[in-house]
Amino acid sequence: MKNLLTSLTVLFAFLLTACSSIPQDKIVKKPLISDHHLMMSLLHRPVTEDQKMMLAFAEQRERYSNDIFINTVSIKGPKTDEDNTQRTQHVYAALIERDVNSIRIMAAE
């Protein structure tokens, strides 16, 4: 009986100390698996100071631009060729449009 009690005590002590000796895993950040996941992780991130400075510079440049110097020319066909003035908008484009950090890129239609 004494041997059984001693062996149970040793076994119980071994089980108690065995759990504490297991190394604790730290949280490992998973890499983004696609460009879509990267895009979604970058939405609504805080605006950095240098980005605020660049946006303020672009706004000031736009405000003080002179009409004499025309930087871009918009070339369009006759208005009779325009059947539909509404453009379709993709779901992700609508989501990105609301983001503070996104920029507008327009391509030829």
Contact 93, 104 (CB under 8 A): no
Q: Find the mean pLDDT for residues 28-44.
A: 82
C-beta of residue 101 within 8 angstroms of C-beta of residue 42: yes
pLDDT confidence tier of residue 107, bands split at 50, 70 and 90 = low
pLDDT of residue 94: 76
User: Under a CB-based contact definition with an 8 Å cutoff, are residues 103 and 42 in contact?
Assistant: no
d(CA 46, CA 48): 6
Decide if 38 contacts 32 (C-beta within 8 A).
yes
> Residue 53: what pLDDT?
92
* pLDDT tens readout for residues 2-14: 888 898 898 888 7
> Per residue in 38-97, pLDDT tens?
888 888 788 889 999 999 988 888 777 665 655 666 667 666 666 666 776 777 777 777
